[in-house]
Structure 1
Amino acid sequence: MPRLGHKKSRNGCQQCKTRHVKCDENKPCSSCARHGVQCSLVPWDPNALPPQPVKSAASSSTRVTRAPAQTSTVAALPIEYVLNPSPAPTAGTSDTGSPHSQTDPFPYLTKFVNKCDTVQPNYWVRDLELMHHWTTEAFNTVTERDDIRDMWRLAAPKQAINNTFLMHEILAFSALHLAYQQHDQRRAFYALGIHHQDLAIRAMRKVLQNVSNDNVGALFATSTLVTLSVFGSTSLHALYLNPSSTRPSQDPIEDILDIFALVHGVGGVLSSAQHSIKDGPFAPMTKLLPYETPHQPVFDKVIDHLPDLIAFFEAQPMNEDMREGYLDVLSAFREKAAFSRQPCIDGREIRFLFSWPLHIRPIFFTWLRQRNPGALVILMHYAVVLHAAEPMYWFMNGWACRIMETAEAVDPSWQPALQWPSELIKIQAQQQRQAQQRQEQSAS
């Protein structure tokens, strides 16, 4: 006999079913509203922020109030609902009945169930989607060299099985590439990318304390993808994802300094293990090609312009130690630019963008953080190469123009040194827009 006053319903939300609690079937239900989670009774809006927990007056008056932590990008996006918008219900609360109940409609399957009923979220489905995208498209965007492409497509996923930091970073890069491609799902894939990137970095931090021959290759590959993913995620966020809602600052100078620090830090840890990398599955990244590759004229332009820039620095009134520091930075700039235009170099732009920050004095980063005009002028010449990389590498999109907009505010006495890189970036930007318009017209 049913209990008096008890109304049984199968229309409750999936979250209440998972928690084995009664659902009041409001939209959203009071239980989900109280916990601040997405309710399955309410259609999910990928552009909406996640619901906030509802606190009672009694609880708010008795609990200790903590200072709010700095808002992170991932905290402002519904990552749990992105990963599993329709959580798999427990078998005991399923609308079709438990496999062990008398109303089981599929008895011919039940006898093969070996474990008790458990909640099995479908997180792995999204991860499989990201891995499929990596092996079919995303790996192609890292490099234009065939042997390195094969390495990323075949060797990297295999190595990632035993190195979860690499697995998470592969999935992060794949998700961010999908966010770049699919405008209507940009926020969802961006949230997935940041989620996996966080997991990759946390796992990587632990392993970096114990670098060995067994993990150094995977660490090297992960650090490469992390840097590219940071370029891409920062660009996506600054250009498309309403930066004021999730990050208090969108300063391209601070952003690029963070990347320089990342390259310096990881590069220093892994530098002592280069011989192990050259003998491992990621060796193709350390080897030069035996044949010539297409020329990149931007390095010729930069090298030809450097004598005028050096003369400008020599003529500027400044402390001699600072002048010497700037000239050392420009010398490293010329050296790396000359290396990057050699005939048998692949990925010329990426190699320069990674290698130059490794060979400059740390004091330059301090000057850059202080917005010293000399440091901003040199960074603008770095931005010229950044802009040249944009047509080939989606994760570099928008960086050069953002840096240019900030650097152009220098003291008027330094404006002549900015004229050449600014004009070159603007010309390249116009050419890229025209080429894109021609592609769109031909496609239509």
Structure 2
Amino acid sequence: MATVRLGYTKSRNGCLRCKQRRVKCDENRPCLACVRHNVECSLLSSSDASTPGGPSKSTPLPRRPRARLRSPARERAPARALVSSQPSPASTSDQDVPDTPDTVDNSLSNYFPNNEADWVADLKLMHHFITVASNTLFQPDMTSPYGDLWQVHIPKLAFLYPFLLHHILAFSALHLAYVLPEEYRKYMLTASHHQSIALQGTRQGLSNITPENVDALFGSSSLVFVGALAAGRPSPDNPDGPTLESLVDIFYLSKGIGGLLNNSDSALRNGPFGPFFTLTATDVTSPVLDCVSAQIDKYLVRVMDMSREDPVRMIIESEIASLTICIKRALVSTRSPEYRIIASWPNLMTDKFISLLRQRHPAALGLLSYFCVIMHATEPGYWFTRGWSFRIIQDISRSMTAPWDQDSVWALDWMTGRSGTAHSLPGIIQSTY
């Protein structure tokens, strides 16, 4: 009995066009590749030229066409503000890709890789996200809806919205780069590949927000933020860590996406992200937020000493109000208020305030110093924030002048344990990777 043939075997009987394009020909007459591309197949010509009475070659049974799914990352754009541009793993493959995308009746057809090695790697990333990486997006003592959200609901939603799927795969790769430093560059390259595709799809989705896609877009915005932090943290390729400009870039990116979703609260409340928008009384206390709030009150006094006509004063007064609101809301809505604050306040920042940060205006940097203290408090529970706050406050300190330098001094003292009430984390502060 003949054995069942699995996969493909080498053959020299393919059509000329498939040979020129260096792709596998199924040897049907005409072959499926030529039919898909609407071109003449050379196998038809050779069949017509055969003599009627001559020995006939048995016609092979038609194989079920193997969908060739092609990722837009074959022509990837750099994921700016996330990962520095690097060649995609797909672009270094020795397998040539058809010059025209194949059409497959599948909503994911343009997003999956076209060879087994790539899609197996993607399946590994999805498995790692569901079983490990998703657990790092919320605290273990937080209630079950958060676990179900990232392990069940969001992955299921991602199969309907490929841009969300690529955000998931990117975050999973970033986490593997963190836990497997010996394979850091491999996984950072993979993350960059998926982030590039994800951002393209996210931008398209944001141009037409609907009740149907708003949950996928909100999930994407969350993963954009954490992905940017994870990609920018201290690493073997970036031992000095992030700079103030790196953080401002993330603010711009986060605000741009979050701002477009501001009018979708009602739709989001009725979806899987509903718990994020529900104010639920908690018994959470936060010494760091108590101290930060007290220091912000002192900072506000100095802001009020500025001239009433000074436009900087008006900008900063508005930002103090929005940060204060974020602190109050976080304390009554989540068991991880510090992280909620650093994720939500950038969405409320005005363009003018972000511009002041970009210009390194000392008064604006004074308020950002307290943001750094809050971010520092998240580092024990969120790996992707580690290394950011200490390096940013050091960078801020280089630009400070009186009277605003006392804000950065207090923040640095808190982080290093020189403050009498500090909750220092020396192991995290000094860690590089």
The answer for the alignment partner of 1:372 in structure 2 is 361
The answer for the alignment partner of 2:251 in structure 1 is 260
Q: Give, in angstroms, the shift of residue 352 of structure 1.
A: 0.9
In the alignment, the residues of structure 2 paired with residue 307 and residue 436 of structure 1 have an alpha-carbon distance, to the nearest angstrom, of 26
Q: Give, in angstroms, the shift of residue 72 of structure 1.
A: 9.8
Please state whether the residue corresponding to 1:405 is helix, strand or coil: helix
Task: Name the amino acid aligned to 1:406.
Answer: D
Within 5 Å, give how 1:104-183 maps onto structure 2: 120-144=115-139, 145=142, 146-183=144-181
In the alignment, the residues of structure 2 paired with residue 19 and residue 156 of structure 1 have an alpha-carbon distance, to the nearest angstrom, of 39
In the alignment, the residues of structure 2 paired with residue 310 and residue 287 of structure 1 have an alpha-carbon distance, to the nearest angstrom, of 29
Matched, 1:240 2:236: yes
In structure 2, relative to structure 1, the CA distance for the partners of 1:258 and 1:405 (3 Å cut) is: same
In structure 2, relative to structure 1, the CA distance for the partners of 1:411 and 1:392 (3 Å cut) is: closer
In the alignment, the residues of structure 1 paired with residue 221 and residue 401 of structure 2 have an alpha-carbon distance, to the nearest angstrom, of 39
Question: Could you tell me which of 373, 377, 383 is aligned with 1:388?
Answer: 377
In the alignment, the residues of structure 1 paired with residue 82 and residue 274 of structure 2 have an alpha-carbon distance, to the nearest angstrom, of 36
Report which stretch shifted further, 333-342 or 183-192: 333-342
Q: Which structure carries more helix by proportion? A: 1
Matched, 1:433 2:418: no
In the alignment, the residues of structure 1 paired with residue 291 and residue 245 of structure 2 have an alpha-carbon distance, to the nearest angstrom, of 27
Within 5 Å, give how 1:224-373 maps onto structure 2: 224-235=222-233, 238-242=234-238, 252-289=243-280, 292-315=282-305, 320-342=310-332, 344-373=333-362
Q: Give, in angstroms, the shift of residue 240 of structure 1.
A: 2.6
Q: Give, in angstroms, the shift of residue 317 of structure 1.
A: 7.1
| CA deviation map 1:216-247 (0-9, x unaligned) | 11111111111111111111xx4331479xxx
Percent identical: 30
The answer for the alignment partner of 1:61 in structure 2 is none
The answer for the alignment partner of 2:388 in structure 1 is 399
In the alignment, the residues of structure 2 paired with residue 361 and residue 75 of structure 1 have an alpha-carbon distance, to the nearest angstrom, of 28
The answer for the alignment partner of 2:107 in structure 1 is none
Q: Give, in angstroms, the shift of residue 160 of structure 1.
A: 0.8
In structure 2, relative to structure 1, the CA distance for the partners of 1:210 and 1:333 (3 Å cut) is: closer
Please state whether the residue corresponding to 2:327 is helix, strand or coil: helix
| CA deviation map 1:360-413 (0-9, x unaligned) | 432111111111111111111110011111111111111111211211112442
Report which stretch shifted further, 252-261 or 319-328: 319-328
The answer for the alignment partner of 1:79 in structure 2 is 89
Q: Give, in angstroms, the shift of residue 265 of structure 1.
A: 1.6
Native 8 Å contact 2:153 2:272 kept in 1? yes
The answer for the alignment partner of 1:11 in structure 2 is none
In structure 2, relative to structure 1, the CA distance for the partners of 1:430 and 1:77 (3 Å cut) is: farther
Task: Name the amino acid aligned to 1:218.
Answer: A
In the alignment, the residues of structure 1 paired with residue 372 and residue 179 of structure 2 have an alpha-carbon distance, to the nearest angstrom, of 24
| CA deviation map 1:182-224 (0-9, x unaligned) | 1101111111111111111111111221211211111111111
Matched, 1:208 2:206: yes
In the alignment, the residues of structure 2 paired with residue 120 and residue 306 of structure 1 have an alpha-carbon distance, to the nearest angstrom, of 55
Deviating beyond 6 angstroms after TM superposition, the runs of 4 or more aligned structure 1 residues are: none
In structure 2, relative to structure 1, the CA distance for the partners of 1:369 and 1:436 (3 Å cut) is: closer
In structure 2, relative to structure 1, the CA distance for the partners of 1:232 and 1:318 (3 Å cut) is: farther
In the alignment, the residues of structure 1 paired with residue 428 and residue 262 of structure 2 have an alpha-carbon distance, to the nearest angstrom, of 40
Q: Where does structure 1 lack aligned partners over 5 or more consecutive residues? A: 1-15, 21-69, 89-118, 245-249, 438-444
In the alignment, the residues of structure 1 paired with residue 228 and residue 296 of structure 2 have an alpha-carbon distance, to the nearest angstrom, of 29
TM-score by length of 2: 0.69
Native 8 Å contact 1:168 1:196 kept in 2? yes
Report which stretch shifted further, 324-333 or 426-435: 426-435
Q: Give, in angstroms, the shift of residue 324 of structure 1.
A: 2.8
In structure 2, relative to structure 1, the CA distance for the partners of 1:142 and 1:183 (3 Å cut) is: same
Please state whether the residue corresponding to 2:295 is helix, strand or coil: helix
In the alignment, the residues of structure 1 paired with residue 336 and residue 391 of structure 2 have an alpha-carbon distance, to the nearest angstrom, of 23
Native 8 Å contact 1:383 1:403 kept in 2? yes
Native 8 Å contact 1:148 1:285 kept in 2? no
Native 8 Å contact 2:415 2:425 kept in 1? no
Native 8 Å contact 1:151 1:282 kept in 2? yes
Native 8 Å contact 2:88 2:190 kept in 1? no
Task: Name the amino acid aligned to 2:287.
Answer: P
The answer for the alignment partner of 1:96 in structure 2 is none
In the alignment, the residues of structure 2 paired with residue 341 and residue 274 of structure 1 have an alpha-carbon distance, to the nearest angstrom, of 20
TM-score by length of 1: 0.67
Q: Give, in angstroms, the shift of residue 347 of structure 1.
A: 2.7
Please state whether the residue corresponding to 1:240 is helix, strand or coil: coil
Q: Give, in angstroms, the shift of residue 73 of structure 1.
A: 5.1
Output the aligned Cα RMSD.
Answer: 3.2
In the alignment, the residues of structure 2 paired with residue 309 and residue 426 of structure 1 have an alpha-carbon distance, to the nearest angstrom, of 21
Native 8 Å contact 2:82 2:227 kept in 1? no
Native 8 Å contact 1:299 1:340 kept in 2? no
The answer for the alignment partner of 1:441 in structure 2 is none
In the alignment, the residues of structure 2 paired with residue 272 and residue 331 of structure 1 have an alpha-carbon distance, to the nearest angstrom, of 21
